[in-house]
């Protein structure tokens, strides 16, 4: 369970009030800011750090097993970030030390 060594200065990992560990803003991230890129090998089975992405709108879903800090993003129904493919962007200004969350798209 190791992370890649390329360091993203935008974020850090810490204990999360949502679940386990989470991803947090190292400094103010303005709306529209690229926060980071989800990195990992393509996989066909789900797992704890697998992000599912449509290869094209209406296309097939491809899983990526996260190997960098972006794998620690937790779910929120009111997320402050969103994925565009494997790129993660701030939906609104994210203050320093706020947890970065995305909507996993679950129908709870």
Per-residue pLDDT reduced to its tens digit, 10-32 = 999 999 999 899 999 999 999 99
What's the pLDDT band for 5 if we cut at 50, 70, 90?
low
Residues 6+ apart with CB under 8 A from 12: 23, 24, 26, 69
Output the pTM of the full model: 0.87
* Residue 73 scores a pLDDT above 80: yes
Distance from C-alpha of 21 to C-alpha of 90, rounded to nearest angstrom: 19
What's the pLDDT band for 59 if we cut at 50, 70, 90?
confident
Distance from C-alpha of 104 to C-alpha of 8, rounded to nearest angstrom: 22
């Amino acid at each position: 369970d190791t992370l890649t060594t390329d360091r993203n200065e935008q974020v850090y990992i810490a204990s999360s009030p949502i679940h386990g560990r989470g991803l947090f803003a190292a400094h103010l991230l303005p709306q529209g800011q690229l926060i980071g890129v989800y990195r990992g090998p393509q996989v066909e089975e789900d797992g704890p750090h697998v992000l599912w992405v449509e290869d094209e709108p209406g296309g097939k879903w491809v899983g990526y097993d996260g190997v960098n800090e972006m794998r620690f993003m937790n779910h929120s129904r009111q997320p402050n970030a969103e994925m565009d493919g494997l790129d993660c962007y701030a939906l609104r200004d994210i203050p320093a030390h706020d947890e970065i969350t995305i909507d996993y798209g679950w129908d709870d």
